[in-house]
Structure 1
Amino acid sequence: MAINPEYQTSMEDGMLVPVRHPFYRRTGNPLRDLVDDINFPHFCYKAVAYTYVLTILWGFYMILPLPGHWSTDGQPDNVTIFSRDYTNYFDVFKVSSACHLQAPDLYLPAIDAIPSLNGSSYCSTRLGFLSAISEGNTSSPDIQHWVQGCRYPWYSIDEICTIIGRFSAIIFVGDSSLQSIYNGFNILLRQDLVNGCLATWDMPDGAQLHCRCENQFTEPFCVKYFVNSSLQLPPQSWRADRRDKYHCDRSTRHEYLEVNYSPAPTTVLDKLDSLITRPGPSASQRKPVAIVHGLSPDSLPVERAAASVFEFKHRASSLTANALMLWIGPGATGTREPLNDDRDREIRAFDEYMALSAARFGVDVLGMWKATFHAWSLDGPRSQEKLAITQAMMVVNWLSWLEAR
């Protein structure tokens, strides 16, 4: 008769005791029994049935009206949709035939983009958006709004107000190159292509006529009328009488602080402190502050510019944990053989060094050299107003990503 090895015994001190077999034998036999008992057709049926049920449940979950399920690809969930009828975007703006500006001059929606050059999908991450702008597309003549890879949306004025309403303050700190972007920001918020960046309430009629459209940016005479703060805008009753629109809620302050030195002047730092720490809700409920910083090599050498980024980053972070900062690099100067042009070489070296420095300080980077390269002709920018509005919309897109950061 065969003997079951599991029940063999041995003699120890005159007693019979069970033999303790190795672990692999003690576990192997039950596993073999388990495998022998498996009904493989039955197992496959159960697997298919459970997969089918889980797929149906997942489909029902995805059609629920939850954040992220119905927003356009790449759109932050809290800005649900952007302007679709882009051709008529400027119909609600104060316009003039002298401005020579139409929406397609600035932007092409993804549906009209050329996928082989532009990419046809919207950016899905903040860093993807920043990279798409910074990398640009320098091979497309006369199209300043083309970017590399994914696309960014062009927001309606209502959507812009929703985006900036998330912040207690939006502070532009830099030299004249950044002030041009702030001017474009004001044109969008005031919906005025004619005098949107100027304090028209302080200007005589002749000055308003002289500083129209492109002249807002190109005529030195008009610089003294630039709006540098949302506090400069007149009250609602005055605007209603004069048809000077400012669509957004006044609770979000925005301001331009001129900086051409490092360390920054005490007056600038004091103003920055007051904007960051102005009275409001408790610290846990306080909205974040966005700081946009930009300098060109005309204002500061690269080492001092990097020190300026660190100065404002450190100062803002010491006052609030909700300070978010963007570095905007300098734009291009023209289409003259950039690699052989000393001026363009200087700007590109400055831009590359500053991008690395800002990233090292934990600051987002939006490079503008490639994005602006084809916005210029040999004699200067084709349109500073078009360029400023486009760059301002890029800043708005950066702001739109911050809440999901």
Structure 2
Amino acid sequence: MIATKTLKQQHQGISTILAFALIPLSGFATDIYVPSLPTMAAALNVSDIQVQLTLGLFLISYGVSQLFVGSLLDSFGRYRINMISLAIFALASIIVANTANIYLIYLMRIIHGVTVGAIVVSKRAYFIDVFSGDKLKHYLSMFSIIWATAPIIAPFVGGYLQTYFGWQANFYFLAGFAIIIFFLELIFSGETLKQPMDFHLKKIALIYSDMIKTASFTLGIVMLGLSYCMVMIYNMTGPFIIEHQLHLSPVVIGYSSLILGAAVMVGGLISKATINKPFNKKLMINVGVQLLAVLTMLISTQFVSNLYSLIFFAFIIHAGSGYTFNSYFTFCLSRFPNNAGIASGLTGGINYVIVSFLSYGIIYLIPASDESNLAYSYLILIVLSVLIMLIIFRMTRKATN
């Protein structure tokens, strides 16, 4: 059993770095094997949609676990739950790398989702426990930027691991990463929860209810889901378009995902730079740019469709997604500082439940066949974003009148 210890002041700097290192774990757990999806389908003798389901099951379990883990973290602390989750995540990764049974992989991916949910929510809550004021706002605005390192680094690394060592190497990499962080956490981290909340189900349910009834908070999470779904749609379909339609290699898939991961980070950095600009105005301009880009993408596919056009338009759309995600993520996480674990869990949980069902539903209705279909998928999400933002703006206007 892992003993609970309090975070030492002299270790706070290293512990903060470790917390930032774990924020992108959800992205690493999906993006690192994105270049391997076509190869996995062939090696496991399953269909494209079956191997895409490994992403969907992770997202669903990751989202659902966050809905409940926040209350456990607020009642029993962050440290021990985080450590246990790291150990189980590493073990599940090793099992995936050593099986050819798709159903066992499904089970391990569900375990991945649950454990990553606990890890990431505990680390988001860490910042609210340790920091306050402008410093907290600064760190929260960095979350989506740090998170964007996963879609930049992970597919790039995964493409080379796939090419030289096979798809299993991706999961050995995840296991090794978790084990290294586990021992560093054991040495340098500790408990940061100062005042545990009594674990009374009725009281916890009331807190959940009050948060969900806060319309600006709930609709903000919907915007998070729509923005990240644009990224996930590409992750689930892009590799098949590039390999099957354009006849290019997993390394090219990795480089393409790296560029689009950079787009998300660029959007996050621009959002951070404009953090003090009028909220509604800047987001409406952002979604307007996305809408213009996807309409141009649809028209251009009638004349040209290649890797360069695909990445060019996707880059603009993904940068817009990063902008929206960073803006609403900072807003949602800072709404309820007294119940940071629950707020973090609800924000991440509802977001990923939306992403998992919506992304899988869209690729089921609009299969990953070409750039035109990808553009139609983007268009659905952008139009939904416009509608939700109009509702938010109308509510904001009524509240100020």
TM bucket, shorter chain: under 0.3
What is the TM-score with the length of structure 2 in the denominator? Answer: 0.22
Higher helix share: 2
What is the TM-score with the length of structure 1 in the denominator? Answer: 0.22
Structure (1 or 2) with the larger CA radius of gyration: 1
